[in-house]
Structure 1
């Protein structure tokens, strides 16, 4: 019976938070009040609240209580290798891609280091803003080796480059190395994204490899701070 009440409290609050019945910043009743409402012990209530806290639905402030967190941020998988088109399909929210540049140019010293090619190597450069629910919140800057990806167009970039690479060019994309940092926003970020008051941005640098271990793509995916949380699963292994 105690377990059933714990699940009832936990699921009840998840539903209210996800459907917007409880807005971010709302203070939850105290443990004593919840125990009285559900006819259970404070220990059972505390168990449900702790799980809500661990999963990012509420924030507990010592001496003040539990408060609802903003769960409108969208999960972006750190360890997965997924296109924006595939991710957007899971969001259930209106989205579109705005292509601002698709060009071919010499790599230059900086991008040559990232792609591990000579500076004179020709590469494709694709700049795309990702709009979700009417706000441009991601700026993707993609660079591809042109000896592996000989052709790109604005039309391909506006759809799914990965669909084109895998279905048309028959490339076998295998894995990626990712580096994540928080950095000051650039003039380009401010011009192409709806940054609002935010002066910093989350940058995910992707180094993408083919099945034959050849590095063929370098990407900077630049995210507005408030809209994305980066999700991974980790299990401690005792040594």
Structure 2
């Protein structure tokens, strides 16, 4: 029950902030007010508020309370600190997004592919090449590798829809975290053939390794973005690190 209550408070306050009930710079209700509203302990409220701080929604200060610092993502922005599918991002940004799978095959990792993806040698994979169209224009090229043992019935038809919807709602998988690397790279012949680059000769490339709740990396993706509309946004939190005092240089005594 306390865990469900904590999640309920977090979700409710997050929804109020995102919908504009609390405007930017406005103070949220006090801890005592929230305790009465949600009929819970002070510790439960503080856990929920702590997660809002972690996610960049609010800032707390002693003597002032809880301040809303949330700024909504720009319409064309993707979130660095959120795992969302292309379909989910398209709905959120108000863009018309469609996907087309141009290649779907099975493969097994050799040493070269293992270094490229992070999957162990000998892992059976599904490999797909998918083009994402934004408002009818091909703008994102994805190379996806999925572990077959995590989704043995995956096929091109399922892959052309929302794979995350399939994994979570049909297979019951819990998708937890993703490690990402961002680079800018020269366009390849494949990029120029499959994407509309409008004269650009480079792309923004996002490499992701995504894990489920069992700690299994089930997906490795290279996502190649048209740079004219590439924009990722994040909330960063400073983690203060105490500097280690420098040791005084050793002295010698002359005789």
Same fold at TM > 0.5:
yes
* Other structure's SS at 2:228 match: coil
1:175 to 166, 177, 182: 177
1:98 aligned partner: 100
TM superposition shift of 1:212: 1.4
Aligned to 2:223: 221
Helix, strand or coil: the match of 2:89?
Answer: helix
- After TM superposition, the structure 1 = structure 2 runs for residues 6-155 of structure 1, keeping only pairs within 5 Å, are 74-113=76-115, 114-118=117-121, 120-155=122-157
- Residues in 1 aligned to 2:154 and 2:130: alpha-carbon distance in whole angstroms: 13
Number of residue-to-residue matches in the alignment:
168
Query: Aligned with 1:181: secondary structure?
Result: strand
Q: When the two structures are superposed, what TM-score results if normalisation uses the length of structure 1? A: 0.66
- Aligned partners of 1:96 and 1:131 also within 8 Å: yes
Instruction: Give the unaligned 5+ runs of structure 2.
Output: 1-70, 242-255
CA RMSD of aligned residues (A): 1.7
Any gaps of 5 or more consecutive residues in structure 1? 1-54, 56-70
Q: Is the 8 A contact 1:115 1:217 kept in 2?
A: no
* TM-score normalised by the chain length of structure 2: 0.62
Contact 1:209 1:216 in 2 (8 A): yes
Shift of 1:214: 1.2
CA–CA separation in structure 2 for the residues paired with 1:198 and 1:177: 27
Q: Distance in 1 between matches of 2:94 and 2:232?
A: 18
Where 1:226 maps in the other structure, the secondary structure is helix
Report the 3-state secondary structure (helix = DSSP H, G, I; strand = E; otherwise coil) of the residue aligned with 1:190: helix
